[in-house]
Structure 1
Amino acid sequence: MSRSRVLIVGAGFAGYRAARTLARAARGAVRPFDITVLNPTDYFLYLPLLPHVAAGSLEPRRVTVSLTGTLPPRVRLVLGKADAVDLDARTVRYTGPEGERGSLTYDRLVLAVGSVNKLLPVPGIAEHAHGFRSLAEALYLRDHVTRQIELAAVASGPAEARARRTFVVAGAGYTGTEVAAQGQLLTDALARGRDRPRWLLLDIAPRVLPELDERLSRTSGRVLRERGVEVRTGTSVQEATREGVRLSDGEFVPSRTLAWCVGVRPDPLVAALGQPMERGRLLVDPFLAVPGHPEVYACGDAAAVPDLEKPGTYTPMTAQHAWRQGRTAGRNVAASLGRGMRRAYRHKDLGFVVDLGGAQAAANPLGVPLSGPFAGAVTRGYHLAALPGNRVRVTADWLLDALLPRQAVQLGLVRSGSVPLETAAPEPARTPGDAPRTPSPSEGGTTP
């Protein structure tokens, strides 16, 4: 009996879950099928804990889960980045890690390519801002922040020292809020009693974390302000330069650091398919299949999935949805190959968690609003439960961080040129610095 070929492009929340689901379904299937995962790295990256890596409370490998180590041997991993999909020929062309070109054929295709940094048409952003979507970007930001504190201590004058000790974060959604909260704790530890570093958190919205209910949003803003973070709502970035950031209110903030956390946009690969789109996402039916191409499925950030709980709308780009859609896509692909029954994607909101650093957090598990240390315990407990690996190592790192001072060293593993912000064409013109109103899988407030 010939074996069908299932190809999964991407191993983020959606792709990784689809691969695990399909691997289980393949056991004892009447019609055997092979599973291949195409991904640029050999790991699944648990994005919500990236702020902990940038702040030095977690070592980088703790937030990575080996694909070959956690997926069954029947799942084949091909390292590479997808360049193009030929729907008629049923092939995917890719570029490997050493520049080699290749192609893979399929009988069933799952597109789970995720998203990339959203680059708005703001002068100087591509050249002078630092993104926050990958492990390399988190490592670079950690080194960069450490370096600025060290250089400020030997600066030629007080103006330069103040600029190097000033850190600006654009976007007060989940990611930006966590980066500012964790970063402020890191720089306070690095400064060791010298002049306190200054952190600014900007957003065009009227409050931080506008996705939260107003009470928890207000609580989160208060925690940040009490810790020393300057929260500027109704404010965006007008221009970024090597010497600082000009704000929409006309103020120029001397700084050497601008963390760009205004959100993400779907990977441009899906736009090249020539299929119907919804705001950059590939339109699919409730079963996650692409209309007119029943052999192609899409899930996660790349897919516009009808929200059956809210007719007429689409599910937002969150890790919670990507994780669940990956399971649904895996089940439906297996059903199309004779294993099980297909089902439409439905969901119930599980809530959110936002780590504010230290023992502080804001959470809304199952609709119950929590804040303070109890929310912090719930948040970390949730992450440990959601991680598909490394739980003991993450727990050990957190315990050591609570007991010992952080290691204030630059690793020098990632250079600035290795983490360019411009990973996709700029968005159409809109209000500069506008943060997305729905969090992405990269944002710690999302829950799978």
Structure 2
Amino acid sequence: MARPRILVVGAGFAGVECVRRLERRLQPGEAEISLVTPFSYQLYLPLLPQVASGVLTPQSVAVSLRRSARHRTRIIPGGAIGVDPKAKICVIRKITGETLDQPYDYIVLAPGSVTRTFDIPGLVEHARGMKTLAEAAYIRDHVISQLDLADASEDEDERASRLRFVVVGGGYAGTETAACLQRITQHAVKKYPRLDPRQIKWHLIDIAPKLMPELGDKLGTAALEILRKRGIEVSLGVSIAEAGADKVTFTDGRVLPCRTLIWTAGVAASPLVGTLDAETERGRLLVTPEMTVPGLDGVFALGDAAAVPDLAKGEGAFCPPTAQHAMRQGPKLADNIVASLRGESLRPYVHKDLGLVVDLGGRDAVSKPLGIELRGLPAQAVARGYHWSALRTNVAKTRVLTNWMLNAIAGDDFVRTGFQAQKPATLKDFEYTDAYLTPDQVRAHTASLTVRG
């Protein structure tokens, strides 16, 4: 009798934790496990701002799947571009461009999310995201190159546009990105004899009325004060009306010279969700508390791509798309797959949010672990301790700790590597959001397999 085939789509927090638990719980030969991912690493997203600012090297936050797995899982290098739940086939585009039709008995959809954009003129062409490792590395090079070019320029207008940086999104990612990058530019500018630190302008804007409302009024205000004290201009209730190559227009009418627009204004579920033709909640797959997709046999979903009921909050709430929930949903879903294989009852996912940590670089941080409000060095210790403990391999932990120590002792470096120096990088260049099939295309594709068979 053939062994059941379990296919996990996505190597983010949710997918990797699910695979790790499956490997521990399943007996050898009890099932086949496959993991679909274009990269052979799990990206530790919360530390991307520190990669962009050069505090951490890119390898530090890329946790090797080969090290963290027990070698029982087959890794398929590619991305899922469509799922036919009726035929139980997942269409995969391998990194070579070839198409693979992967049958499954159980499928775990953890494809994560992509940067959410809006119909703003020039946004897709001129904004940079902070969702992938390549984007973080690119932004670092880009920011340092603006200092180089401004220092060499004799044109005051060009210099002003190169030394103005705008970050859109006052949530966790945007706030940390603005704080970490502003810190490195203030340190770097001392090495440029023709530049004045007062010429560097950083702006953090958000359409919401508060900065990081999840922190509460007290800590949110503390974070706002830290940013403004550093010289970062924070504008709330404002967004981008138009983006250009050398200027941005805010919705309040301001037009600012700017050649660096970093967009972190939220995320949307992976476009893979749309290929299933299933019910969604604000773009995320609507699932049961056990993380099954209603009406689709053998289909489970979790993480950023799924609207998982938040039973701890109740009142129809759904779990927010955070690493904290994804890391805990993965093992619970794995347990439910094992239970399904063994004819046992499935259990619902329940987890109470443990709080939020925000590292603003240097000695600045605000944190709210277990409802306790912290700021400064205690908050910094909690934030870095949490991130360090969440890394899944000793190699990754050693790299991160070494990088932090080196940065504390030797300070920042301002090396520009030159990656993609000749090509402006857009959001689509990194996230490949146009690669997915429609539900009709998926069905037509799997139907053709039957005919050919």
Aligned match of 2:379 in 372, 375, 383? 375
Aligned match of 1:132 in 130, 133, 155? 130
Residue 210, structure 1, aligned to residue 213, structure 2: yes
Cα 1:417–1:323 shift into 2, 3 Å: farther
Does the 8 A contact of 2:126 with 2:426 survive in 1? no
Aligned match of 1:164 in 162, 168, 173? 162
Q: Following superposition of structure 1 onto structure 2, how do residues 305-320 of structure 1 map, counting pairs within 5 Å?
A: 305-309=308-312, 310-320=314-324
Aligned to 2:447: none
Cα 1:416–1:94 shift into 2, 3 Å: farther
Aligned to 1:184: 182
Does the 8 A contact of 2:34 with 2:75 survive in 1? yes
Cα 1:325–1:54 shift into 2, 3 Å: same
Aligned to 2:348: 344
Percent identity for Structure 1 against Structure 2? 45
Give me the TM-score of the superposition, normalised by structure 1: 0.92
Does the 8 A contact of 2:85 with 2:297 survive in 1? no
Superposed displacement of residue 419, structure 1: 4.5
Q: Following superposition of structure 1 onto structure 2, how do residues 351-390 of structure 1 map, counting pairs within 5 Å?
A: 351-389=355-393, 390=396
Q: Structure 2: how far apart are the matches of 1:414 and 1:271?
A: 32
Cα RMSD over matched residues?
Answer: 1.5
Aligned to 2:419: 413
Q: Structure 2: how far apart are the matches of 1:263 and 1:229?
A: 21
- Kindly provide the CA deviation profile for residues 103-158 of structure 1, in whole angstroms up to 9, marking residues without a partner as x: 21111110001100101111110111101100000001000000000111011222
Aligned to 1:3: 3
Letter paired with 1:308? L
Q: Following superposition of structure 1 onto structure 2, how do residues 29-178 of structure 1 map, counting pairs within 5 Å?
A: 32-178=30-176
Cα 1:24–1:419 shift into 2, 3 Å: farther
Return 153-162 or 283-292, whichever deviates more: 153-162
Cα 1:93–1:150 shift into 2, 3 Å: same
1:374 is paired with a residue of what secondary structure? helix
- Kindly provide the CA deviation profile for residues 183-216 of structure 1, in whole angstroms up to 9, marking residues without a partner as x: 0111012111641221100011222112220000
Does the 8 A contact of 1:359 with 1:377 survive in 2? no
Q: Structure 2: how far apart are the matches of 1:43 and 1:62?
A: 11
Does the 8 A contact of 1:43 with 1:64 survive in 2? yes
Aligned to 2:337: 333
Superposed displacement of residue 298, structure 1: 0.3
Aligned to 1:199: 202
Letter paired with 2:90? V
Superposed displacement of residue 341, structure 1: 5.0
- Kindly provide the CA deviation profile for residues 391-439 of structure 1, in whole angstroms up to 9, marking residues without a partner as x: 11111101110111322121122457584314548xxxxxxxxxxxxxx
1:168 is paired with a residue of what secondary structure? strand
- Kindly provide the CA deviation profile for residues 209-237 of structure 1, in whole angstroms up to 9, marking residues without a partner as x: 12220000000000011111111112111
Letter paired with 2:369? P
Letter paired with 1:330? A
Q: Structure 1: how far apart are the matches of 2:173 and 2:275?
A: 28
Q: Structure 1: how far apart are the matches of 2:118 and 2:154?
A: 34
- Kindly provide the CA deviation profile for residues 317-366 of structure 1, in whole angstroms up to 9, marking residues without a partner as x: 11111111111111101111118753101111110101111011111101
- Kindly provide the CA deviation profile for residues 71-113 of structure 1, in whole angstroms up to 9, marking residues without a partner as x: 0111110100111111111111111111111121111110001
Q: Structure 1: how far apart are the matches of 2:420 and 2:224?
A: 32
Q: Structure 2: how far apart are the matches of 1:259 and 1:211?
A: 22
Q: Structure 2: how far apart are the matches of 1:331 and 1:91?
A: 23
Cα 1:282–1:418 shift into 2, 3 Å: farther
Aligned to 2:328: 324
Letter paired with 1:12? G
Does the 8 A contact of 1:17 with 1:327 survive in 2? yes
Cα 1:368–1:288 shift into 2, 3 Å: same
Residue 273, structure 1, aligned to residue 297, structure 2: no
Aligned to 2:438: none
Aligned to 1:443: none
Does the 8 A contact of 2:10 with 2:109 survive in 1? yes
1:192 is paired with a residue of what secondary structure? helix
Does the 8 A contact of 2:201 with 2:232 survive in 1? yes
Return 403-412 or 160-169, whichever deviates more: 403-412
Aligned match of 1:401 in 407, 415, 439? 407
1:153 is paired with a residue of what secondary structure? helix
Q: Structure 1: how far apart are the matches of 2:247 and 2:361?
A: 26
2:298 is paired with a residue of what secondary structure? strand
The answer to which structure, 1 or 2, has the higher relative contact order (CA under 8 A, 6+ apart) is: 1
Q: Structure 2: how far apart are the matches of 1:15 and 1:83?
A: 17
Return 136-145 or 242-251, whichever deviates more: 242-251
1:293 is paired with a residue of what secondary structure? coil
- Kindly provide the CA deviation profile for residues 42-99 of structure 1, in whole angstroms up to 9, marking residues without a partner as x: 0000000000000000000000111112101111101001111111111111111111
